[in-house]
Structures are given as structure tokens and as C-alpha cells.
Amino acid sequence: MPDLQVLNISHNFLTRLEGPSKIFLSTWITLTLVTIKFKGRYLFFAEFLNIWISQETNLALLFHEILISGRIPSCVMKMSLNFEVFNLKNNNLSGSIPHTFPPYCALWTINLHRNLLDGPIPKSIVNWSKLEVLDLGSNQIIGGFPCSLKEMSQLRIIVLRKNKFQGSLRCLKAHNATWEMLQILDIAFNNFSGKLPGSFLTTWKKYMAHKSI
């Protein structure tokens, strides 16, 4: 199947993958595995990632609800140069989000919603110039309000709900950049405190554009 671009085998009861995976992955662009009961899920997941490192095609990976546990594999960092979508929501991934992603990766969507991730949001995330969707909701991520995200003007959706963020929502002048495209900011169910800055909404260019219509 040399022209295969999408493989969706989600919501089945498959237990293993037979044959050399590299043959199947030679031309894939999008792989969807949702609610699949593979044995040795983490090893299966890591095998696919290691194979895809050599791929030059822009890729989308949807590996959610298959109960992968453990840390995010280090090989993910090598793949992000040609990865566009990284969706690992509803798994059991733990540990912190890697700090070693390449500064100019191709990612435009990261969805790690509902895992067991902890630690702070890596500072290197501000260098992901194409990122539009960041969903880290329902984890155990710590730290103050991630003001550095305001430097990412291309962000459209930010979901940080149900984590362990705390402190003020105010940002230093060094982070006074404006979210030009932001449409959704979800910070519900955290431990933020203090006043809601008056400029928190009025400096969003997208919001101001809709208000003026």
C-alpha cells in the first residue's frame, strides 16, 4: 500500500502487531490507535516512535486511550522536527515533559490531556514557533502561571485546567507580549490567587477584533 496516508484501527480488541512494523510505516502520514488493547503497550509505542525517527514525511500520531504508562520516550525529541500532531491524551504517562525538544520543531498540536505528568512546563516550549494547540489539562503540572507562553503569538488554544498551578496571574513586563490568535484559555481548577489583571483580556488582539465587529 505505497499510497497509504491514514491508518485508523481504533476501538478494537487487537492484541499484537505481526510482521516488521517498518514495512507498514514506510508511507504513513497519520496513525490513529485509540482504545487498543495491545500487549506490551509501552514497548509497542516506543517501537513505532523509533521507526518513525527515520521518516522524512510530516507526521501525525494519535495514540490515546491505550493506557501507555511510563515517561515520554526520549526518541520523541528526535521526531519533533517532522512531527505535526502529537496526541497522547488519556494515558498513564508520568514524569515531567522533556526539556530537550529541538527549538524549531514542526509541532503545531500537543495534546497530553489526562495523564500523570508532573513538574513544570519546560521553558524551551517558547521556541516552538508553529505550536497552535497546547493541551496539558488534567495532569499534576506545577508552577506559577506560565507567562512565557505569552511570547507564543501563534497559540490559539491553551488548556491548563486541573493541574497544580498556583500564585498570581500577573506577568512581568518581560512577558508583556500579546496573544494575537488566542481563542481559548482554560485555567480552571488550579490554585491561582489574587486579582485578575485588567489587561488579561483586553490585550488579546483576537478578542478585541471580535469585540469591534
Say what the pLDDT of residue 84 is: 80
pTM of the model: 0.80
Give percent of the chain with pLDDT exceeding 90.
28
Q: Which amino acid is at 124?
A: S
Say what the pLDDT of residue 213 is: 46
Cell numbers 490559539: residue: 156
What is the residue-averaged pLDDT of the chain? 76
Query: Can you tell me the distance from the alpha carbon of 66 to that of 13, in angstroms, rounded to the nearest whole number?
Result: 11
Higher pLDDT, 33 or 107: 107
What the chain holds in terms of domains, given with CATH numbers, is 6-211 (3.80.10.10)
pLDDT band at 151 (very low <50, low <70, confident <90, very high): confident
Digit-coded pLDDT (tens) for 91-135: 888 999 988 777 677 788 999 999 999 999 988 888 888 899 999
Higher pLDDT, 36 or 97: 97
Residues composing the chain: 213
